Amino acid sequence: MQTVNIHNAKTNLSRLVDRAAKGEPFIIAKAGKPLVKVVPIDQPTAAQVRRVGFMAGQISVPDDFDRMGADEIEQMFGIDA
């Protein structure tokens, strides 16, 4: 993430805001100390980002999962296996 000093941010604010709106957030610093982070308004927060595999190890799939309910389905639709 880019860090810019406050003077540079004032000088290039339009360009920096355009880049932030396109998904490139930046930090404004004063005397090398970070003050604010500029991010797009519609950027999801960490809590809103969904993670793939967040329940790994908590769910088990039965070995016959692909055959579950097959007998009932065959009876309903008259399919001979």
pTM score of the predicted model = 0.50
Give the position of tokens 């004063």.
Answer: 30
Question: Which residues, including other chains, have CB under 8 Å from residue 6's CB and lie 6 or more apart?
Answer: 28, 29, 30, 35
Domain count, the chain: 1
Alpha helices (runs of H) in 1-81, residue ranges in sequence order:
6-11, 13-21, 70-77
d(CA 7, CA 18): 18
Domain interval for residue 45: 2-77
CATH of the domain at 69: 3.40.1620.10
Please report the pLDDT score of residue 4 as a whole number.
94
Model confidence pLDDT, tens digit, residues 5-62: 999 999 999 999 999 988 899 999 999 899 999 988 876 666 666 777 878 888 888 8
d(CA 39, CA 18): 11
